[in-house]
Structure 1
Amino acid sequence: MGKDSQAVIELLNHALAESGLSQAAFATALRTSAPRLSTYRSGKTKPTAQFVLRAGRIAHALQRAREYRIMTAPATATAIREASDEDRAWRMLLQGRDHLRLLLGRHDGSEAAWEAAPGPTGQAGFDTLLAILTAHEFEAAGEEPPEWSKVEALSDPWVPEHPFLEPDEIIEQTPDYLARANIFVPARDLVTA
């Protein structure tokens, strides 16, 4: 194996370690499969230079987010999936979104932690909502949204139950960017302190 191939393997191994994720979770974060990442790390297959650079940049940003104790998209999806009830899932979603805002405000590259694609939350509505909120925050900050956040609208409307609003009131109070995704949540329910 040549020196360049060995260097690529070392860079990918370092990125995996720095990411703090399992190989499978890091592969998901990079929008590839665990077997494909394994072939890159073994030298059996050569990744593109773009892939290697993206892996290093995202891994470094994930490490910084951990140091800052700030949630990433993968951590947010995991928190939603592991939530004991839907109220907790909503709190985790909004906390993750707020953490993304913090990273976007730092202007130090740490927002790349949110370029790491999350695994599934276990609910299509939350998967799509996480993607839509992420894209919205990146756009609001004047940044290009991550590829994983560019999703199709849900095929069926999702109008989560509300403690005191009727479905038609929820739909009326939903921001346009969510309604276009067939997700209906009142704007005030997206506001955090």
Structure 2
Amino acid sequence: MAPTAPLDRPYPAQNQDTDTRTLIDGLNQALRDSGLTQSDFATALGTSASRLSTYRNGKTTPAATFYLRARRIGHCLREAYSLGWMSSIRTADAIAEALDDDDNTWALKMVLQGRDHLHALLSERDDLAGAWEAAPPSTGATQWDVLLATLAGHEFEAAGLRAPAWTQCAPLASPWVIESARTDAETVREQTPAWLSQLGVFIRAHDLATQGAG
């Protein structure tokens, strides 16, 4: 029986030159560092699982910028997790779990907690910004995707950094008002920051403020 190829190299390395094998090893290390499946890591990098697979088996050579981005984001995810910080991916997953339980209150808590973790990360370790440059999977609800993306983009801009591409969103087709206890919808609209209301998301600035947020 022929030996089974290692799990982190799904295809034999026959007839591959040293540089190609080094590139493959680097991508496999980035995937391991990320702690993600190949499909989720591909999403984080803004590509498809099939395309990433062709890079990992040496059939296609990625651009140098893609390779460096993969290594950096994999490293940043690993380090952020080791320090106890949420990433864009873990935040989206937590929101999705809350929505599956029909718990919008917990979903809002998770998106704000993720935002606060991003704020702390950019303040203390902006070299790990890649943990939030990684594009997250959908939460399963467009309005929550837009809220997460907009909050994250706002934090990057406030820190003087370029916001990741995934944080750029089109306005919602229909306005979404996140109502607050004892506050009517019209008041929520009036008290929503302009950078959110322009995307059709309405939540009071007061309800966005949590301990640790800037």
Same fold (TM over 0.5): yes
Aligned to 2:190: 172
CA distance in 1, matches of 2:35, 2:54: 20
1:30-68 CA distance string (max 9 Å, x none): 011111111110111111000000000011000011101
In the alignment, structure 1 segments of 5+ residues that lack a partner are none
The structural deviation recorded for 1:108 is 4.5
Normalised TM-score (structure 2): 0.88
Q: Which amino acid aligns with 1:43?
A: G
Aligned to 1:87: 105
Match of 1:161 among 173, 179, 183: 179
Aligned to 1:189: 207
CA distance in 2, matches of 1:141, 1:75: 21
State whether structure 2 residue 155 is matched by structure 1 residue 142: no
State whether structure 2 residue 145 is matched by structure 1 residue 127: yes
Aligned to 2:70: 55
The structural deviation recorded for 1:107 is 3.8
CA distance in 1, matches of 2:123, 2:47: 29
Quote the RMSD (CA, aligned, Å): 0.9
In the alignment, structure 2 segments of 5+ residues that lack a partner are 1-15
> Could you list the runs of 4 or more consecutive aligned residues of structure 1 that deviate by over 6 angstroms after TM superposition?
none
Normalised TM-score (structure 1): 0.97
Aligned residues: 193
More helix by share: 1
The structural deviation recorded for 1:165 is 1.3
Larger Cα-atom Rg: 2
1:130-176 CA distance string (max 9 Å, x none): 00001100000000011111111112111123322111111000000
Aligned to 2:114: 96
Determine what percentage of the aligned residue pairs are the same residue.
49
